[in-house]
Amino acid sequence: MLLQSIKQGFRNGIDTTIMLGKIIVPVYFVVTFLHHTPVIDFVAQSFEPLMSVFNLPGESAMILVMGNLLSLYSGVGAIQALSLNSFEITLLAMMLNFSHSLFIETAVATRLNVSGTKIMALRVGLMLASGLIFGTLAGGVLQRWM
């Protein structure tokens, strides 16, 4: 019985690793490739004013877009491909925890008779509020320690 549970757990772990790898690895390579082209510089310059409100570099906008539109794991893959410090990674992870996979999860909520508009507004609002609070109030102090 115990041996069977261990075997099943090992198989489930391998399957999950493969599933996550299929998402994270391609996104990592795409973002790494883009990092060596003018695309990342264009995105960074375009979004620098908006992202600076959160004490984040402009290129981090790609992470939020990927995480919100695709999945949390594509956001993780994009984080790994960019040169961010621990404060920026923590802030982006916190923001994405509130608003990842917006369209998929809003569709699921709608199926449960919850207002999709209200859920999306709440999740995006929490993402923005957490980014503003953590990024602006704590950002200056925490970046000195990290």
The full set of domain ranges for the chain reads 24-145
Report the half-sphere exposure of 127 (CA within 13 A, side-chain side). Answer: 21
Question: Residue 10 pLDDT > 70, yes or no?
Answer: yes
Pairwise CA distance, residues 125 & 38, whole Å: 31
Pairwise CA distance, residues 59 & 63, whole Å: 8
User: To the nearest 5 percent, what fractions of the chain are helix, strand and coil?
Assistant: 85, 0, 15
Closest-CA residue to 70 (of 104, 47, 98, 94): 104
Question: Residue 94 pLDDT > 80, yes or no?
Answer: yes
Going from the C-alpha of 33 to that of each of 30, 63, 82, 94, 143, the distances in angstroms are 5, 15, 11, 26, 28
Which tens digits make up the pLDDT trace of 52-80? 999 999 999 989 988 898 888 888 888 88
H or E element, residue 112: none
**In the chain, pLDDT over 90 holds for what percent of residues?**
41
User: Mean pLDDT over all residues of the chain?
Assistant: 87
